[in-house]
Amino acid sequence: MDQPSTDVIQGTLDMLILKSLSLEPMHGFGVARRIEQISRGVFKVNPGSLMVAFQRMERAGLLNAEWRQTENSRRAKFYSLTRAGTKQLGIETEDWTRRAAAVARLLRAEG
């Protein structure tokens, strides 16, 4: 039985965006598609949430953005990580790993 896809877990969207962009600059649709593909369809990203996150992260200095042509010859805003974005990805990855390990320990606990 297939598991239903879900929205991205609260508080992880920025980390998933940063990770997606650490591989190569992409436009918004590319980021959403990458998150869905890598999560094997478990996570779907709401386009509105994605745009708000891009704007917030750009203002915070985590992303650069520039208009370019897509592979379909359409104009789209492509995002890439700044040095601060790369550093933030490391911080968020470490925090997520610590939290996920704690949840795993709680789930394994007896009693």
| Percent of the chain residues topping a pLDDT of 70 | 91
Give residue 89's pLDDT: 98
**Mind listing the domains of the chain with CATH numbers?**
6-108 (1.10.10.10)
pTM of the model: 0.87
Averaged pLDDT for residues 92-106: 95
* Model confidence band, residue 83 (pLDDT cutoffs 50, 70, 90): very high
Model pLDDT for residues 25-73, shown as the tens digit of each residue: 999 999 999 999 999 999 989 989 999 999 999 999 999 999 999 988 9
Q: How far apart are CA 93 and CA 65, in angstroms?
A: 23
| DSSP letter string, 49-86 | HHHHHHHHHHHTTSEEEEEEE-TTS-EEEEEEE-HHHH
Q: Distance between CA 12 and CA 17 in Å, rounded? A: 9
